[in-house]
């Protein structure tokens, strides 16, 4: 591709920029929460559980956007660390309820300020109004993609050639 102009330069690609920003935020967050012994994977579960204390394993995995079998592995580690309890539902043994322990709740006061510091670093140099516009635009873009994609218009059917006789 050398010598030709890219049809979508990375610095003009919304997908690339959002992904790159997300990766930078995750790296910064991981560096700040790691001293507490919390992995980035556990962070997402804790973050949801601080808002909604008791969820089923399936609900929790869905909120995070993770497959349930993958969530089981992460939750097992969190249980071993003493941050959550897992309890099987007496009426429906397939359901496992996840709840925070006191230790898991206490992590909130330690970790949320670290997350806020990473976000503040990302927004450095922006006015509060610019930061709000950025967030509003990101929310709008996310909402635009929340709907199922419009189907592409069907291409006209190609007529098949008939073999020539003769």
Note the pTM of the prediction, 2 decimals. Answer: 0.77
Q: What is the mean pLDDT of residues 147-153?
A: 74
In this predicted structure, the answer to whether residue 6 has a pLDDT above a threshold of 80 is no
> Which pLDDT tens digit goes with each residue over 35-91?
999 999 999 999 999 999 889 999 999 999 999 888 989 999 999 999 999 998 888
In this predicted structure, the answer to whether residue 1 has a pLDDT above a threshold of 60 is no
- pLDDT at res. 3: 61
Taking each helix axis from N to C end, the angle separating 68-81 and 40-51, rounded to the nearest 10 degrees, works out to 90
Beta-ladder partners of 160: none
Q: Where are the domains of the chain?
A: 13-143
Rounded Cα distance between 136 and 126, Å, is: 14
CATH number of 13-143: 1.10.10.10
In this predicted structure, the answer to whether residue 16 has a pLDDT above a threshold of 60 is yes
Cβ–Cβ under 8 Å, residues 77 and 46: no
SS3 99: strand
Q: What is the dihedral of CA 84, 56, 42, 118, to 10 degrees?
A: -110
> Which pLDDT tens digit goes with each residue over 83-127?
999 998 888 878 889 999 999 999 999 999 999 999 999 999 999
pLDDT band with cut points at 50, 70 and 90 for residue 7: confident
C-alpha count within 13 angstroms, C-beta hemisphere, residue 152: 3
């Amino acid at each position: 591709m050398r010598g030709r102009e890219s049809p979508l330069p990375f610095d003009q690609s919304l997908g690339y920029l959002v992904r790159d920003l997300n990766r930078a935020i995750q790296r910064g967050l991981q560096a700040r929460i790691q001293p507490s012994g919390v992995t980035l994977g556990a962070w997402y579960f804790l973050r949801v559980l601080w808002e909604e204390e008791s969820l089923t394993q399936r609900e929790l995995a869905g909120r995070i956007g993770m497959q349930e079998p993958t969530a089981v592995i992460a939750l097992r580690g969190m249980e071993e660390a003493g941050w959550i309890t897992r309890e099987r539902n007496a009426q429906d043994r397939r359901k496992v309820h996840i709840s925070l322990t006191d230790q898991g709740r206490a992590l909130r006061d330690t970790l949320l300020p670290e997350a806020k510091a990473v976000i503040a670093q990302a927004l450095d140099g922006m006015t509060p109004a610019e930061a709000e516009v950025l967030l509003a635009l990101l929310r709008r873009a996310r909402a635009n993609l929340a709907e199922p994609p419009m189907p592409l218009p069907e291409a006209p059917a190609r007529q098949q050639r008939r073999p020539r006789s003769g």
